[in-house]
Amino acid sequence: MTMRVEFDEPKCVAAGQCAMVAPEVFDQRDDDGVAIVLDQTPGPEHHDQVREAAEVCPAAAIRLVER
C-alpha cells in the first residue's frame, strides 16, 4: 500500500499536533508555526503515525490518499 500526504496550508492553525505525532513526516516553520510536510509519500513504517496526525489535526488540513 502507498500513501500520499496532501496538506492544505491555508487551513493550518499551527497547533503542531502533526509534528508531535509524526515528526519524521511533519515539521513546523519557525516564524509562524505552520506545518511543513517533510515526506509526501511516507514509507509503510510511518503510515499509522501519519493517519493519527491527520485525525488529530484540529483544522482538518491533512488529507491522505492511500492505494
For position 54, which CATH number holds?
A: 3.30.70.20
Provide the domain limits for residue 31: 3-66
Please answer whether residues 8 and 54 qualify as being in contact, where contact means their C-beta atoms are separated by less than 8 angstroms.
no
Please name which of 36, 50, 49 lies closest in space to residue 4, comparing C-alpha atoms: 50
pLDDT in tens, 17-62: 999 999 999 999 999 999 999 999 999 999 999 999 999 999 999 9
* Per-residue pLDDT at 5: 98
Number of domains in the chain: 1
Q: How confident is the model at residue 10 (pLDDT cuts 50, 70, 90)?
A: very high
Q: Write down the pLDDT at residue 12.
A: 98
Strands (E), the chain: 3-7, 26-28, 35-37, 62-66
- Amino acid 42: pLDDT: 98
